[in-house]
Structure 1
């Protein structure tokens, strides 16, 4: 759908207030003033002929939920819409200075050429078509797992509803996985499966919507952050409490900054929880164990619920870096910290699996008040159940082939190949960006992204202001139109005032990534020369 078709219905043909609301929305999305004026003209012209016969709208832009108006999700914003338009133009033979769009805006592994893990896809094939259980081409360990899962499905079919928290045997496998990972017990009844980690995250944050002492709730999130959090908080009417990561210390988390953020927030709202993303998205940092201990102590002192986004726990590349789960550290700190409330999230979309579209994920809720937990389970029951194929993928992740099983050798070969390649690409991206004029890029210790800072020349700042765009948005649109490379401006994730960043994935396969970086470098040099004065 074109940008015009997407936004034009939002313009109220009879109301300047409606137009001004749209204009503010459009500018926030980085759309230039002239395009918004064009949208208004087109809609006004089209509606003039039918104005007399049009009834009052039951749902208009003025009466729309105001939280939806302010909600943004940067990784699927206007740049991505424009990228889709460009792809359609290329298909029609429109001449461009490039042959394809490279979507480096989102962590969609398979879309960027990553091959599925055979073990996972074999399980999916068998659960979807159980007749294949009699096919000798499938290993026996895969068949046994599928039989176990199908026994947990009503009617022996993945087409049936499951329990709202998910299939019991898979929840038990998740608990066993966590216990192996951390060396501490995990109760399967504390595991709730979801349609991706995003679904699980939103269901937990929803529990925090409550005014206390006439103050609105607030949730602490890192800046830069994954836009799911800012979008969800806006949607739910919860105040965002941003705490800045320290770019000069490889995006480290400073406890003094946490204290500043929460102290400032208490003047306006009631802080209820803190979100920590480890490994980091979009920044790619991996927290040290000491840093995690300090965060836990801070959360204890401030009486905050902890949300640990740990979906990249398999993606750690840098020498000396290691993943420690919040639960493991919390339990090993002993009293009183091991009694704290924690929700830890995992997904099958990332890691070495990359099964984004199948939407598998889980949350482990630790030390949740029993009455709250009962209400939480009641709330998720309204959604019936998470996608069953997503649950199956999660089972394959937490219950992989063992060393004595026939699928083990191929599974380990494919898993290692993905992670080893991601490590090389992480190093390639950082090394290359640090050769660009005006660029600085911290090491990608983990996850799937780089978040370099770029110093833009004065001419670019002026050109962006003239176009009513943030300078990083202006830069990203210029990059897309001239090279076909789609990235996400740093303003979509949050950044310190006066600095400009963008997020790019490291997911293009090595040869494609090399090509992308060469195009990027050539564009950047031309951009600097064009706008240097």
Structure 2
């Protein structure tokens, strides 16, 4: 007998999975991995290595880990290390508090679905201190495996048709593609609002009004995503800008997603990170009763612990019954990784002045942040020195998002091979120099403009090497297609 056809095929599977894309790890990154394998196999290339300046993976680009964080993790993973004198007493104190909150005093046990209670308490204390005394409650904090997991879980709460229209989620353009991927996966509608490149990627209310109004025939607008500091654009929103966004969300009854994972990454001396919750609460009635979810992670900042997968969400002003449903939904996933929870605990409860680890911790933290500051300025200056390139100040986060002009012949060559012009440029750059970056069209951009996103994460000596190769490539590319 012939074998029966597969039960699950492209025709019979969830069409939203087919529709969704997470192109930050798409064809360019796949090709970079293939080239790395080819180099190992002895295939001759005009370079010796692939430099992955495409993704915000700090440690892969040489960022050192924070010793105190790893000390605490070593202690909670293997409590026999408590007998070792090389681990400072404040690390042991942190680790013991975490273990005391675990079943059987082991991180190998399940935690509550919302996370280990003592860590949630520490997160609430951190938020309250960060926001200058604006109250924060442990009951509103939910730990997660990175910020991404909680973003998806909260967005899923909104996944209900209103008057037979799918829910619409407002997201910035350019934007971090996890949002567009999740919106597609959930069968929602993305309402793209353009950031204003001419004023350093500012978020402007008339554009929000335009995007919202034009979307109403296709969806029921339900939420707005605000990424601050911005990814991939690197801007830091002013307090006045945040106030106007809150007023807009209030006017249109929108749930606010505050993606604040880069809150430590502010480099511009004229810029300050204000949490949306702090501004919302200080605005008073009626804004201080609005629903907002604020997300944080140990993957960014000065920590850069991307693979450990630690994060949290603070749910503000949610209806109690809705919060109960959120608790139920995350309980189906059992619990977030306990190692990630321990990492978040160190982020929100670092060494304090007078404790044995404080001086080294502070030195390591500031060394990382000062170096990122230096690289943020260096990258923008270098791009602005290239023919046809213009790059805004990298005020925060970990990326530059320069615009560049392409000769008509290059645009035509890209179309002949079925690629977007900036994708074509990025592939040529990868094949000729080994530099892996991401084309701007992947993040969204205004029609007729071309961008690329490059991280500022390569260490300075490597970054200088990158730009020597990059500048040579760009001059040759322009000459070839002029």
Q: Same fold (TM over 0.5)?
A: yes
Residue matched to 2:196: 246
Alignment of 1:62 with 2:11, yes or no, is yes
Which of 4, 10, 27 is the matching residue for 1:78? Answer: 27
Deviations 1:411-469 (A, max 9, x none): 00000000000000000000000011110000000000000001111111111110011
How far the C-alpha of 1:385 sits from its partner, in A, is: 0.3
How far the C-alpha of 1:404 sits from its partner, in A, is: 1.2
Deviations 1:264-322 (A, max 9, x none): 11122100000000000000000000000000000000000000000000000001100
Residue matched to 2:67: 118
How far the C-alpha of 1:53 sits from its partner, in A, is: 4.5
CA distance in 1, matches of 2:259, 2:275: 10
Alignment of 1:464 with 2:414, yes or no, is yes
Which of 397, 407, 411 is the matching residue for 2:361? Answer: 411
How far the C-alpha of 1:54 sits from its partner, in A, is: 4.7
CA distance in 1, matches of 2:365, 2:23: 30
Deviations 1:197-250 (A, max 9, x none): 001100000111100111110000000000000000000001000000000000
SS where residue 267 of structure 1 aligns? coil
Residue matched to 2:78: 129
Deviations 1:132-181 (A, max 9, x none): 11111111111011111100000000000000010000000000000000
| Mapping 1:391-410, distance limit 5 Å | 391-410=341-360
CA distance in 2, matches of 1:216, 1:398: 37
Residue matched to 1:283: 233
Q: Which runs of 5+ in 1 are unaligned?
A: 1-51
| Mapping 1:45-444, distance limit 5 Å | 53-182=2-131, 183-444=133-394
| Mapping 1:481-520, distance limit 5 Å | 481-520=431-470
TM-score (norm 1): 0.90
CA distance in 2, matches of 1:66, 1:531: 40
SS where residue 151 of structure 2 aligns? helix
CA distance in 1, matches of 2:415, 2:81: 61
CA distance in 2, matches of 1:269, 1:356: 34
CA distance in 2, matches of 1:55, 1:506: 52
Q: How many residues were matched structurally?
A: 481
SS where residue 434 of structure 1 aligns? helix
Deviations 1:327-372 (A, max 9, x none): 0000100000000000000000000000000000000000001111
How far the C-alpha of 1:87 sits from its partner, in A, is: 0.3
Change (3 A) 1:439 1:54: farther
CA distance in 2, matches of 1:484, 1:157: 44
Alignment of 1:530 with 2:447, yes or no, is no
TM-score (norm 2): 0.99
Deviations 1:50-72 (A, max 9, x none): xx945311111222211111111
CA distance in 1, matches of 2:23, 2:465: 25
SS where residue 385 of structure 2 aligns? coil
CA distance in 2, matches of 1:253, 1:478: 33
CA distance in 1, matches of 2:442, 2:18: 16
**Structure 1 stretches of 4+ moved >3 Å:** none
Greater Rg, structure 1 or structure 2?
1
CA distance in 2, matches of 1:163, 1:172: 14
Change (3 A) 1:205 1:57: same
